[in-house]
């Protein structure tokens, strides 16, 4: 019991104090643990563990879900301090809770995940699924070769975890080996795995593959498959809105999916891309007070920083039309709404 309490306090200390040296010290302590397998979980604690895993697998950005994840895992570890899978899930928790946006994380979050995985492997040295997760963690840390080694280790140990294929594919994408990556993603899709998050990730991977090779029709089809697979995922509707606007110049379609995204969850990127699509609609007919003016007003309510919108024209070419419309409208418009 005391060991588990100390472990959890150490994880929190690493995370909150942002101290990499502490993480390294903690790892050394974990390495000295014996590798004896724990007793199976009693039914009530197995249910807690399963609930935590399901919440992580179905995570959509809900902070309350992560609070529940940590609570369930801590309760399991207080009674079963040597249950390796709980430490693996704690590592997933730290990565999700510490994620800011894109590849940015709160300081100390990835180090806390590293410490949790080290604990899992100190208990179960041949824990293939822990090495699978290390493949992802090392990628996030920018340690490409270590990620490859971890996945090779997992593959050698043997596992049916679909994330082995997904994580391999992600690394192959980083190496611009898009065809090889697609082979891995397709294996996941063909496997029929019940892991919905892994299936969703493989669909995302195939979307990226088609974008990389310039096949916009297939990319569009993959977005629609992703929405059909998880229709209540706000981020997927938001991503599709961005694709429709930036890759296909379809601002009307982007507005539809942008609204659907925000109906599910109000989040920054969703507001940004819906606003961008509305500004683009305004730019189509800025002199039309009823249609264009309404779109402009709605966009301003969502995202008034026009400078940020027009600066994205390089990566989203259709926004150049917005920049041009703004220049034409500037003399007659309220300059407080215009970029400097």
Mean pLDDT to the nearest integer, 175-184: 96
Handedness of CA 133, 136, 141, 146 (dihedral sign): positive
Assess whether pLDDT exceeds 50 at residue 339. no
Say what the pTM is: 0.80
Distance in angstroms (rounded) separating the CA atoms of residues 337 and 95: 38
300-312 tens-digit pLDDT: 999 999 888 999 9
Mean pLDDT of the region 213-224: 97
> Tokens at residue 129, please?
């699924």
Q: What are the structure tokens assigned to 32, written together?
A: 């000295």
pLDDT at 64: 92
Residue 202 has which token pair?
């493989």
Degrees (nearest 5) of the Cα angle 301, 103, 149? 160
Greater confidence (61 vs 320) lies with: 320
Residue 26 pLDDT exceeds 70: no
Name which of 150, 159, 149, 204 is nearest 181 in CA terms. Answer: 204
- Residue 122 and residue 124: Cα distance in Å, rounded? 6
pLDDT for residue 330 is more than 80? no
Q: Please classify residue 267 by burial: count the beta carbons closer than 10 Å to its beta carbon, then call 0-12 exposed, 13-18 middle and 19+ buried.
A: middle
Between 14 and 104, residue with greater pLDDT: 104
Q: Does pLDDT of 190 surpass 90? A: yes
Can you give the pLDDT at residue 331?
57
Local confidence band at 168 (pLDDT 50, 70, 90 cut-offs): very high
Q: Indicate the pLDDT class of residue 7, thresholds 50, 70 and 90.
A: low
66 confidence band (pLDDT: 50, 70, 90): very high
Residue range 227-243: average pLDDT? 95
pLDDT confidence of residue 279 = 95
* pLDDT exceeds 60 at position 159: yes
Nearest to 100 by CA among 43, 61, 142, 44: 61
Instruction: State the pLDDT at residue 236.
Output: 95
Query: Collapsing DSSP states into helix, strand and coil, what is residue 104?
Result: strand
């Amino acid at each position: 019991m005391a060991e588990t309490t100390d472990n959890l306090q150490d994880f929190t200390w690493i995370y909150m104090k942002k101290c990499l040296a502490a993480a390294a010290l903690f790892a050394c302590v974990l390495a000295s643990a014996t590798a004896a397998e724990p007793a199976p979980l009693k039914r009530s604690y197995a249910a807690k563990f399963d609930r935590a895993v399901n919440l992580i697998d179905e995570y959509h950005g809900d902070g309350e879900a992560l609070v529940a994840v940590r609570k369930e895992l801590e309760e399991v570890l207080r009674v079963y301090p040597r249950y390796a899978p709980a430490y693996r899930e704690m590592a997933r928790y730290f990565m999700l809770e510490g994620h800011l946006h894109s590849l940015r994380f709160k300081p100390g979050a990835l180090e806390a995940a590293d410490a949790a995985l080290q604990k899992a492997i100190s208990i179960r040295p041949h824990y293939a699924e822990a090495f699978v997760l290390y493949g992802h963690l090392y990628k996030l840390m920018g340690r490409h070769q270590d990620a490859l080694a971890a996945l090779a280790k997992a593959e050698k140990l043997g596992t049916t975890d679909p994330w082995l294929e997904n994580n391999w594919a992600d690394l192959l994408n980083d190496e611009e080996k898009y065809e090889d990556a697609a082979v891995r993603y397709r294996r996941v899709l063909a496997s029929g795995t019940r892991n919905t998050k892994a299936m969703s990730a493989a669909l995302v991977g195939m979307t990226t593959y088609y974008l990389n090779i310039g096949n916009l029709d297939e990319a569009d089809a993959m977005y629609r498959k992703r929405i059909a697979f998880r229709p209540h995922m706000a981020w997927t509707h938001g991503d599709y809105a961005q694709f429709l606007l930036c890759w296909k110049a379809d601002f009307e379609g982007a507005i539809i999916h942008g609204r659907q995204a925000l109906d599910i969850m109000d989040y920054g990127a969703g507001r940004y891309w819906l606003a961008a699509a509305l500004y683009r609609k305004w730019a189509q007919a800025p002199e039309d007070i009823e249609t264009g003016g309404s779109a402009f007003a709605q966009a301003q309510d969502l995202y008034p920083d026009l400078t940020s919108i027009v600066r994205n024209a390089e990566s989203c070419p259709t926004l150049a039309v917005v920049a041009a419309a703004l220049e034409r409208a500037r003399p007659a418009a309220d300059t407080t709404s215009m970029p400097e």
